[in-house]
């Protein structure tokens, strides 16, 4: 009889609970339980203890547990069991070991082996607070988010179900099949797979490329594209840094803008510029906007500048080179030069100058149709000038000693010209001096080959081979008209200085008059 009364009372409570649920969706009501017992706690609050297949409901939220202590007046419940579960809107499921639920705030505090699941991801932690009204989950003391392909861990985190936006703080690590990312602060949209990081960020790809952002990043994990603030890209060959970096990891292409610096790990080469792009699979890096290359050589530094610099990697070391296009300028303490284009073969330490090259070595000016310069142990060793070679040196009285011919070889000793050999169609004008202060005469000679010798960067003697024909012109017969060989041009005003290496303004070219024909774009030549 007593059991029947208890059962009747329990059924009545369930009916009243159902009625209350209809009257107010804000109440946490009992939907099912195998047993119920009431009482008061030490503070005089009424509570109900529910056991066996307990199910509570509030609106579209259901709570499941083995046992529950429910405080109806406070709209609060503590839920226990082997697996405590929350279901919301048939899309979100949260399981754990124990739960404190505040019905008025619609706040769930889930603890111990918590798993939060929605259609896009799963979240694992031991400390989860979930605001069901705003659909925001927070975890503390470590958590892990897992979606289809990647795992994200951090000490603190939150997740907004409505926007699919997860936020992570402190020791954030993303593990992806293609990369690992570490950051301090990160936001991640589990649907769009867009990531935003704040502060220092490091990404290491499976091919060991490392990308670093000092000022945060924006990444599209789906198409492997990212933007880095104050970023750095590190490969086996290079370190590239800039104020802003764009990385396309799918195609291994990178773009850098503002304060770009590229450092060659093996060659001790540094290139700076305003912008650059790097195609890793092709081994091509192009630097634009006042690019300057620096290479330290035996206590001296070689500077190379142009409108565009191109670094070419290759599996064959002999093919690795630096290319320079338009308004090429080089500078080191013992050598300066200009050209329209240049190729620097790194392994052989040979520089090839093309299209109107001019070099200055101490007091001598050298020009030809093309010039190549060989370096050895950081010093200038030899120079080869091909076709229409012309050497001019100025003496203590400002006279121009000149030598021209088809081809030339110049040899250097500790950076100073020691001798020049001219092969074919040799011509010279030479002013012998007495005590470096008086012109003795002017010698003008035609021959096949000429051999010139220097001491302390001053012309000391000349030898003429193969039928030399000469004129000895005394000082009183020397006129400005006969002191210049054909093709003479003293171009010292174009000689680069360290200042013009870094601060160069190309000469102004007048705009051509308009024409009434279609102008088609010109295709640039392929990189050699």
The three-class DSSP label of residue 9 is helix
Q: What is the pLDDT of residues 83-113, one digit of tens each?
A: 999 999 888 999 999 999 999 999 999 999 9
Specify the higher pLDDT residue, 270 or 265.
Answer: 270
As given in the structure block, the two tokens for residue 187 are: 């936001």
Say if 527 falls within a structural domain. Answer: no
How many Cα atoms within 13 Å fall on the side-chain side of residue 123? 36
DSSP state of 508: P
Q: Residue 423: its pLDDT value, please? A: 93
Specify the higher pLDDT residue, 515 or 179.
Answer: 179
Say if 141 falls within a structural domain. Answer: no
| Overall average pLDDT of the 401-426 stretch | 88
Q: Residue 506: its pLDDT value, please? A: 66
- pLDDT range class, residue 494, cuts 50, 70, 90: very high
- pLDDT range class, residue 424, cuts 50, 70, 90: very high
Nearest-angstrom CA–CA distance, 176 and 129: 27
Same-domain status, 67 and 31: yes
Same-domain status, 467 and 391: yes
Query: Is the pTM higher than 0.85?
Result: no
Name the domain count of the chain.
3
Most confident of 12-26, 58-72, 445-459: 58-72
| Overall average pLDDT of the 121-148 stretch | 93
Average pLDDT, the chain: 86
Q: Residue 47: its pLDDT value, please? A: 92
Which stretches does DSSP call E strand in 89-237?
92-102, 107-118, 121-131, 136-139, 143-146, 151-154, 156-160, 165-175, 179-189, 194-205, 210-213, 217-220, 225-234
DSSP state of 15: H
Query: With contact defined as beta carbons under 8 Å apart, do 273 and 258 qualify?
Result: no
Say if 212 falls within a structural domain. Answer: no
What percentage of the chain exceeds 70 in pLDDT? 91
Last residue of a domain, one of 292, 326, 347: 347
Q: What is the pLDDT of residues 35-86, one digit of tens each?
A: 999 888 888 889 999 999 999 999 999 999 999 999 999 999 999 999 999 9
Same-domain status, 379 and 501: yes
The three-class DSSP label of residue 319 is helix
As given in the structure block, the two tokens for residue 138 are: 């927070």
Q: What is the pLDDT of residues 346-359, one digit of tens each?
A: 888 899 999 999 99
Same-domain status, 342 and 369: no
- pLDDT range class, residue 20, cuts 50, 70, 90: very low
Q: Residue 508: its pLDDT value, please? A: 62
What percentage of the chain exceeds 90 in pLDDT? 55
Nearest-angstrom CA–CA distance, 15 and 36: 13
Say if 40 falls within a structural domain. Answer: yes
Say if 326 falls within a structural domain. Answer: yes
Last residue of a domain, one of 113, 131, 165: 113
Same-domain status, 366 and 481: yes
Burial (CB count within 10 angstroms: exposed 0-12, middle 13-18, buried 19+), residue 335 = buried
As given in the structure block, the two tokens for residue 474 are: 């005394």
Same-domain status, 38 and 18: yes
Dihedral angle over CA of 90, 96, 100, 101, nearest 10: 0
Same-domain status, 28 and 62: yes
Same-domain status, 303 and 376: no
Give the DSSP letter string of 251-304: TTEEEEEEEEEEEETTTTEEEEEEEEEEETTTTEEEEESS-EEEEEETTEEEEE
| Overall average pLDDT of the 252-264 stretch | 92
Same-domain status, 382 and 500: yes
Say if 313 falls within a structural domain. Answer: yes
Same-domain status, 327 and 371: no
| Overall average pLDDT of the 400-417 stretch | 88
Q: What is the pLDDT of residues 294-320, one digit of tens each?
A: 998 877 899 999 999 999 988 888 888
Same-domain status, 328 and 409: no
Q: Residue 224: its pLDDT value, please? A: 86
- pLDDT range class, residue 2, cuts 50, 70, 90: very low
Instruction: Give the C-alpha distances (Å, rounded to integers) separating 502 from 72, 304, 320, 328, 360.
Output: 78, 10, 25, 12, 19
Query: With contact defined as beta carbons under 8 Å apart, do 312 and 283 qualify?
Result: yes
Same-domain status, 373 and 465: yes
Say if 227 falls within a structural domain. Answer: no
CATH number assigned to the domain comprising residue 330: 2.60.450.10
CATH number assigned to the domain comprising residue 498: 2.60.450
Q: What is the pLDDT of residues 192-247, one digit of tens each?
A: 889 999 999 999 988 888 999 998 899 988 888 899 999 999 988 889 999 999 99
Domain hosting 312: range is 235-242+262-347
H or E element at residue 500 = helix 498-502
């Amino acid at each position: 009889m007593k059991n029947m009364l208890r059962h009747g009372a329990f059924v009545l409570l369930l009916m009243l609970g159902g009625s209350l649920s209809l009257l107010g969706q804000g109440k946490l009501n009992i939907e099912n339980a195998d047993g119920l017992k009431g009482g008061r706690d030490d503070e005089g609050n009424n509570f109900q203890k529910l056991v066996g297949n307990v199910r509570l409901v509030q609106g579209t939220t259901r709570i499941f547990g083995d046992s529950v202590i429910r405080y109806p007046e406070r709209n609060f419940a503590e839920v226990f069991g082997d697996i405590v579960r929350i279901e919301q809107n048939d899309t979100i499921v949260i399981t754990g070991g124990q739960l404190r639920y505040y019905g008025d705030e619609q706040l769930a505090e889930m603890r111990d082996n918590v798993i939060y699941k929605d259609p896009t991801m799963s979240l694992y932690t031991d400390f989860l607070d979930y605001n069901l009204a705003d659909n925001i989950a927070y975890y503390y003391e470590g958590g892990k988010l897992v979606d289809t392909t990647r795992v994200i861990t951090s000490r603190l985190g939150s997740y907004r179900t409505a926007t699919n936006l997860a936020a992570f703080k402190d020791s954030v690590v993303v593990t992806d099949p293609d990369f690992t990312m570490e950051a301090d602060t990160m936001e991640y949209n589990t649907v769009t797979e867009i990531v935003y990081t704040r502060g220092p960020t490091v990404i290491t790809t499976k091919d060991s490329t490392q990308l670093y952002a000092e000022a945060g990043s924006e990444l599209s994990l789906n198409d492997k594209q990212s933007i880095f603030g104050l970023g750095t890209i590190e490969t086996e060959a290079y370190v590239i840094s800039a104020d802003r970096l764009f990385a396309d990891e799918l195609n291994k292409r990178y773009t850098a803008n503002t304060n770009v610096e590229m450092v060659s790990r093996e060659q001790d080469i540094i290139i700076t510029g305003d912008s650059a792009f790097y195609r890793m699979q092709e081994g091509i890096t192009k630097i634009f906007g006042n690019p300057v290359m620096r290479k330290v050589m035996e206590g001296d530094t070689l500077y190379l500048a142009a409108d565009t610099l191109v670094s070419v990697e290759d599996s064959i070391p002999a093919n690795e080179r630096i290319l320079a296009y338009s308004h090429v300028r080089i500078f080191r303490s013992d050598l300066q030069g200009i050209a329209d284009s240049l190729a620097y073969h790194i392994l052989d330490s040979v520089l090839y100058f093309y299209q109107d090259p001019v070099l200055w070595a101490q007091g001598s000016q050298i020009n030809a149709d093309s010039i190549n310069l060989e370096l050895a142990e950081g010093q200038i060793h030899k120079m080869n000038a091909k076709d229409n070679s012309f050497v001019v040196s100025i003496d203590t009285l400002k006279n121009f000693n000149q030598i021209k011919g088809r081809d030339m070889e110049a040899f250097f000793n500790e950076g100073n010209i020691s001798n020049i050999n001219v092969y074919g169609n040799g011509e010279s004008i030479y002013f012998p001096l007495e005590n470096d202060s008086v012109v003795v005469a002017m010698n003008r000679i035609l021959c096949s080959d000429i051999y010139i010798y220097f001491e302390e960067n001053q012309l000391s003697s000349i030898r003429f081979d193969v039928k030399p024909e000469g004129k000895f012109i005394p000082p009183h017969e020397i006129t400005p008209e006969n002191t210049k060989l054909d093709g003479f041009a003293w171009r010292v005003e174009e000689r680069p200085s360290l200042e013009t290496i870094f601060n160069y303004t190309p000469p102004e070219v007048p705009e051509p008059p308009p024409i009434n024909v279609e102008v088609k774009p010109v295709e640039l030549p392929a990189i050699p």
